[in-house]
């Protein structure tokens, strides 16, 4: 089996530390072309029945540079 880091694991690990939120804000800004600031995390869920069957999800409330509130779901 190859050794690699899964995106969901990396995001979960990254988001445990509030100092790293700028990384996620930068990702959202780069993908959507609008600056975002994380307001708070609304909900998260993790499901694992086997090492290959891992699911992580987090809902994030963010504010755009225009003052719009947006909910992001990261899986």
Dihedrals phi, psi of 15, to nearest 5 degrees: -80, -10
- Is 68 within a domain? yes
Q: Could you tell me if 59 and 72 are in contact, meaning their C-beta atoms sit under 8 angstroms apart?
A: yes
Reply yes or no on whether the pLDDT at 66 is more than 90: yes
The residue segments making up the domain with residue 66 are 7-74
Structure confidence by residue, pLDDT tens digits, 14-60: 767 777 788 888 888 998 999 999 998 887 666 555 555 566 677 88
Residue 49: strand, helix, or coil:
strand
The number of domains in the chain is: 1
- Is 1 within a domain? no
Q: What is the CATH number of the domain that holds 40?
A: 3.10.450
């Amino acid at each position: 089996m190859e050794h690699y880091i899964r995106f969901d694991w990396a995001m979960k690990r990254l988001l445990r530390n509030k100092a790293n939120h700028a990384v996620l804000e930068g990702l959202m800004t780069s993908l959507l072309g609008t600056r975002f600031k994380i307001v708070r995390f609304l909900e998260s869920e993790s499901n694992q029945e086997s090492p290959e069957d891992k699911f992580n999800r987090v809902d994030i409330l963010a504010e755009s540079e225009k003052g719009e509130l947006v909910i992001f779901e990261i899986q």
